[in-house]
């Protein structure tokens, strides 16, 4: 199994407490992911009495496979991974969706380039850095944005690099003319010269998704209640150590909210391999 189970348990497991395996998407280095999610998990442990084990997967596909086969109980998923997982495992439940910094439970994907370079004359002839096939901001969002610029990504050069930060750095280094990644992450690299050319319409933000086959209904309801009760203004100090995608509060979400992503998938086929 490629999944790396981090050698960490947030507190001693008692016979009375349920222990659940939590798997965030591998969008950044494992150490950075741990720094962002562990404070939230510590709070949830203190408030619910549950225990959480952090599981790191090498790819989105591996995470979805592990979730579908019952080896993951709880995950932090973007809209495309959620839709793909739901197609394989109907017994999943989005508990809450996390708000972005502006307060809405929506986010965008960006088409980026290095601001120090002139825009390509022929964008169809350029090579594009992408995250992963199952990343919402990977081929799916980038192809949609390029289509608006009269570029067919299926016929262009592109390559999957993995994490969003790897895409940003590859574009900054000049290894690719353009790339696609989450706008929020792209803005973290603005000081290095990364510039946003275009953004998608708002998509459902990242959600905490539970496995109904492995988590009890009472534990799912308890987690949902605790997260929905947080107020990003009142509890700002408490949440200040949480990752930037987790600290601005939550709201309820339903499967029907993912209709825009399913609509995009009807129009855009996602290749699994690079075309370079």
pLDDT at 17: 62
| Stated pTM of the model | 0.81
pLDDT at 13 over 50: no
Same domain as 78, residue 213? yes
Same domain membership, residue 113 and residue 28: no
Residues 91 and 138 in one domain: no
Q: Which of 179, 200, 221 is the last residue of a domain?
A: 200
pLDDT tens digits, 147-173 = 999 999 999 999 999 999 999 999 999
Q: Rounded distance, CA 195 to CA 220, Å?
A: 40
Residue 274 in domain: no
Euclidean distance between the first and the last CA atom of the chain, given in angstroms as a whole number = 29
β-pairing verdict for 178-182 and 127-130: parallel
Domain final residue, candidates 182, 200, 218: 200
Query: Which tokens hold the place of 166?
Result: 């790897």
Taking only the tens place, the pLDDT of each residue in 231-248 is 999 999 999 999 998 999
* pLDDT top residue among 162 and 3: 162
CATH code, domain with 195: 3.40.190.10
Name the domain count of the chain: 2
Residues 178, 230: one domain?
no
| Residue 41 in this model has a pLDDT that exceeds 90 | yes
With 60 as the cut, is the pLDDT of residue 16 above it? Answer: no
Give the end of a domain, one of 151, 169, 200: 200
Is position 275 within any domain? Answer: no
Averaged pLDDT for residues 126-150:
95
116 and 193 assigned to the same domain: yes
Residues of the chain above pLDDT 90, percent = 76
Same domain, 15 and 143: no
Which structural domain, as residue segments, surrounds residue 191?
109-200
Residues 96 and 116 in one domain: no
The confidence score (pLDDT) of residue 1 equals 44
pLDDT band at 14 (very low <50, low <70, confident <90, very high): very low
Are residue 72 and residue 184 in the same domain, yes or no?
Answer: no
Domain match, 166 and 90 both: no
Q: How confident is the model at residue 7 (pLDDT cuts 50, 70, 90)?
A: very low
The answer to the question of residue 8 being in a domain is yes
In this structure, is residue 228 part of a structural domain?
A: yes
* Side-chain-side CA neighbours of residue 214 (13 Å): 19
- Average pLDDT of the chain, as a whole number: 90
């Amino acid at each position: 199994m490629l999944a790396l189970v981090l050698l960490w348990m947030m507190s001693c497991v008692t016979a009375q407490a349920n222990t659940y395996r939590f798997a965030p998407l591998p969008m950044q280095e494992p150490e950075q992911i741990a720094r962002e999610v562990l404070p939230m998990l510590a709070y949830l442990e203190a408030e619910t009495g549950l225990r959480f084990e952090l599981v790191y997967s090498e790819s989105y596909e591996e995470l979805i496979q592990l979730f579908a086969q019952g080896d993951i109980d709880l995950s932090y998923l973007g809209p495309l991974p959620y839709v793909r997982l739901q197609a394989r495992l109907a017994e999943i439940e989005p508990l809450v969706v996390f708000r972005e910094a502006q307060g809405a439970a929506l986010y965008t994907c960006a088409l980026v380039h290095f601001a120090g370079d002139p825009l390509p004359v022929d964008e169809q002839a350029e090579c594009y850095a992408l995250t992963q096939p199952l990343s919402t901001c990977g081929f799916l969002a980038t192809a949609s944005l390029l289509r608006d610029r009269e570029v067919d990504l299926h016929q262009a050069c592109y390559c999957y690099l993995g994490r969003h930060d790897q895409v940003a750095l590859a574009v900054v280094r000049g290894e690719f003319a353009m790339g696609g990644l989450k706008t929020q992450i792209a803005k973290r690299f603005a000081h290095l010269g990364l510039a946003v050319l275009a953004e998608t319409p708002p998509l459902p933000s990242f959600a905490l998704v539970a496995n109904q086959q492995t988590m009890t209904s009472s534990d799912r309801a308890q987690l949902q209640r605790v997260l929905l009760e947080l107020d990003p203004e009142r509890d700002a100090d408490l949440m200040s150590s949480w990752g930037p995608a987790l600290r601005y509060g939550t709201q309820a979400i339903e499967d029907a909210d993912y209709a825009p992503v399913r609509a995009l998938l009807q129009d855009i086929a996602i290749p699994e391999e690079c075309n370079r």
